[in-house]
Amino acid sequence: MSNPARQVNSRRLPPLPGMNKAGNSAKTSHPRSPRSGSYGAYLGQTHDRHVDMMVKGHSPHSNHNGQLKQHLSADYDGHSSPELTLSQDTVTAYLDDNPDYLENYIQSRVSQDQLERWLIRRTHKHHTRHKHGKKSPVNGEIIQDERRESLSRWKFCVHADKRKMLQDLTREIHQHPNKAQVLSELAGCIASAVNADGFNLYLVDDSGQELYHYKPGSSHTKDSSSCTRRIAPGSTLAAYVASAGDTIRVDEILEDERFPEGIVVGGSIAQTVLAQPIVHANGELSGVIELYRNVGGAPFAEEDEEIINSYIVWGSIAVYYAEMYHTMTKQRKLNDFLLAVTRSIFQDIVSMDTVIMKIMNYAKKLVLADRASLFLVDTKTSELYARIFDTGDHYDENSPKPVRSQKEIRFPMDKGVAGHVASTGQILNIQDAYADERFNRDVDLQTGYTTKTILCMPIFIRGSIIGVVQMVNKLSGVFTKSDEESFEMFAVYCGLALHHAKLYDKIRRSEQKYKVALEVLSYHSQCSDEEFESLRNKPVPDELPSLVRYEFSPWAVDNDDKPLYVIYMFRDLFCMARYDMETLYKFTLTIRKNYRTVPYHNWSHAFSVAHAMYTIIKTTKNKFSPLEALGLFVACLCHDLDHRGKTNAFMVKSASPLAAIYSTSTMEHHHFNQTVTILQHEGHNIFKHMSSEEYKQVLGDIRHCILATDLALFFGNKAKLKDMHEKNTFEWDNTEHRKYIQAIAMTGCDLCASIKPWDVQRETVRVIFEEFYAQGDEEKLAGTQPIPMMDRDKADELPQSQVGFIVGICLPCYELLAQMMPETRPMVDGASANLKKWKELAEIQKQAEEDKKKEDVHHGKENGDGSDKDNLTEKKKQEQKLP
């Protein structure tokens, strides 16, 4: 640091404005330099020579023993000047009379930091004088002087250097837009301005109910703070100030009973404290600044409050507008993000699954979450369901790879975190998932994934909750209030996207249904008047005792007589007082009309299945209620309506419109919808005299029973019923338990051809495989290889295939049914007898293959490498013929 004493060595002193001040300048007879008189005035004499001066009492360097030797370059009359000694009083007098020189010197040679240090030292001296009770002759002069010093210091800090301070603070705001960092810098400036020994900054948390100590360099969150207090009197000084909203100045912090905890962070030897609330221009409390001086320091004065208030007023406004700028920037980014979301989703609504994947992908980006889930609300069953899950894999929306669906899961709306949000519509921000009783830990145990934080948000459309988005594990820290606000706006767009996706899906399904309807109408129609009159004129038999036998062959009944047999079975099972006969005639005939002329899944098959169920209901003697029996019988009659002779897998693989409508149990859903369509025809509703509750129950049972004929569902139903039987937990009075019996009974009746006498069984299998081979031929034409069962080139495997079918499906079904209802034991016996026959054929086929191999070897030896291919082919065809 440069100082005035050293400056003398390199510059000439300026002339004194009042040269005649010493009284000798005008009187001298010697010609002199214009400056010579000025020096003479302060030296007390004039010398016409070069002068060496020593300033006594000034010690800029410790090794000069309290004196500074300066060589003046002024030349008096060309003579060398003797060494002269200047006292501090002489220099002080000169500087007092030459303030412009002092100002120019300080501005050009003294740094800003040095000036601030000088001011701080001067303030220390005044505080020390005040502490030791030094007073001027006039009472109160010291106080007035100190007030002038405080205001002078404030004037210096705010006015003389206002531009620099504003630039520095503005730069800090620009570089660190975080409110906590800016306020920390502001607090540091204030502490320096009021000469505090230390300071603490407390910030208000997001809830507005607690204060937490902010430490520079921390994560700016309450969780990282070493001190947290509720905003209320009775604890710390900062909490009291935040509660009262007023500035508090305390001379003895340990003696004030209003805040028994005092200042809990730092300041272990603090004595006098000044605490000031930080209030934004909009009146919102942002935090509290604590300033303290240690034991021995002077108390804070009113002038210190003025300085702090001036700083905070400007600082609060600056922070407010900085936050406003930050908010606007953030909002602009959010708007750009939402625009990208809207453009991505609404320009490419292909399917609901695609929209769900995009929503989850964008949601993760928005709040920086690790994983996301979207659950949709099923208002009919009051359940949440999802079939698309985020496994942590990257999803590329530009990739042509289709979205992979997983198995759908369902759970009640009142279960778990997502269920709570769906039920209440409240946003849940859980910072510790395992500490929340609503969190289901089983998912983590099954997947090996660890859930820490959860942000769950409802999705509304037209005031109703249609889904729930759940964010899991923020990549850094926990989900904040800002995340909630951003996600809440995002949820609005999610609702619109899902709503439009549903509408699009409905339109797409409607188009497919329209195509199916046109296709059905082009083939089917209602029964004609002639058919109706012909059936009505036929008398219904009073008794058909042979009908109540499991071995009865429905295929032996003439096709025109089958409707009459249906009427007989219906009348025998149910009280006809509630049914209209003409309606029953039309319903039965239209059912027959809506079966296609395919080899096996035709009207004859439907009649055989209905007969099997009739036999079960008759022989088990009221195991089922009348409404359940009605649903079972009608379901059997309608369970294959409009069957095309193709499997569900073929319908899906061939991109059939039906497969686009029904993603699971494709044909079974179609069969049920055809049943409902027929019931809606005029004069066909056989349930029209039922109450609404009975009608609902019967339709529900029919749907359940028709869907149960999908063999893909058989294994699950069998396992559950078998488990209940083995554990002796099955109850006939339990409606849900009886549904499993109904499902197994439907499967048993659908496969009833396997329990018929051998001749009937063999012929039926021939017809079945004719239908299978037709599908296999179409698959080959489409360039795909059918399964062996449907490949006519592998017809020699038929016996073994039937053995596997009866052992794997038929017998387990009938044996379980017989365990639950012993009256159905003949079904087990019939299937077992046919199994024996198929095993014999399989052995014959196996022996024929071995003989053929031997014959091939023999012909190979006789004819060399050649063989009579035509003869072998013909022989193979003969061997493949069923006996």
Neighbouring-strand partners of residue 648: none
Cα distance between residue 796 and residue 414, in whole Å = 56
CA-nearest of 459, 482, 454, 485 to 470 is 454
Cα 774 to Cα 396: distance, rounded to the nearest angstrom: 41
Q: Which helix (H) or strand (E) holds 165?
A: helix 162-175
Q: Which three-class secondary structure state does DSSP give residue 550? A: coil
- Residue 291's nearest CA partner among 197, 211, 212 is 197
Q: 3-state class of 204 per DSSP?
A: strand
Helix or strand run (H / E) with residue 484: helix 481-523
Number of neighbouring beta carbons within 10 Å of residue 220: 18
8 Å CB contact between 323 and 281:
no
Long-range contacts, 122-127 (Cβ 8 Å, 24+): 122/149, 123/149, 123/150, 123/153, 123/195, 124/195, 127/195, 127/297, 127/298
Q: In what order do the strands lie in the sheet with 383-386?
A: 409-412, 383-386, 369-378, 464-474, 454-461, 428-430
Buried-state track 420-455, b at ≥16 Cβ within 10 A, e below 16: bbbbeeeebbbeebeeeebbeeeeeeeeeeebebbb
DSSP string, 111-156: -HHHHHHHHHHHHHHHHHHHHTT---SSTTHHHHHHHHHHHHHHHI
What distance in Å separates the CA atoms of residue 747 and residue 705, rounded to the nearest whole number? 9
DSSP letter at 577 equals G
E runs forming strands in 755-880: none
In whole angstroms, what is the distance from residue 880 CA to residue 421 CA?
Answer: 65
Residue 770 · residue 599 · CB < 8 Å: yes
**Which pair of structure tokens corresponds to residue 342?**
């809207």
Catalytically active residues, by annotation? 601
CA 668 – CA 674 distance, rounded (Å): 10
Q: How far apart are CA 343 and CA 258, in angstroms?
A: 59
- List strand residue ranges (DSSP E) for 339-463, in order: 369-378, 383-386, 409-412, 428-430, 454-461
CB of 297 closer than 8 Å to CB of 127: yes
Using CA atoms, how far residue 38 sits from 26, 75, 521, 867, in Å, is 11, 13, 125, 142
Alpha carbons 457 and 426: distance in angstroms, whole number? 7
Question: Beta strand pairing status for 52-56 and 83-87?
Answer: parallel
Assign residue 78 a region: left if phi > 0, alpha if psi is -120 to 50, beta otherwise?
Answer: left
Contact predicate 193/311, CB 8 Å:
yes
DSSP type of residue 271: E
Virtual torsion, Cα 309, 310, 311, 317, nearest 10 deg: 100
Q: DSSP letter at 414?
A: T
Contacts of 7 (CB under 8 A, 6+ apart): 105, 109
Contact 732, 622 (CB under 8 A): no
Q: Put residue 105 in one of left, alpha, beta given phi > 0 → left and psi -120 to 50 → alpha.
A: alpha
- Listing DSSP states for 608-641 in one string gives HHHHHHHHHHHHHTSSS-HHHHHHHHHHHHHTTT
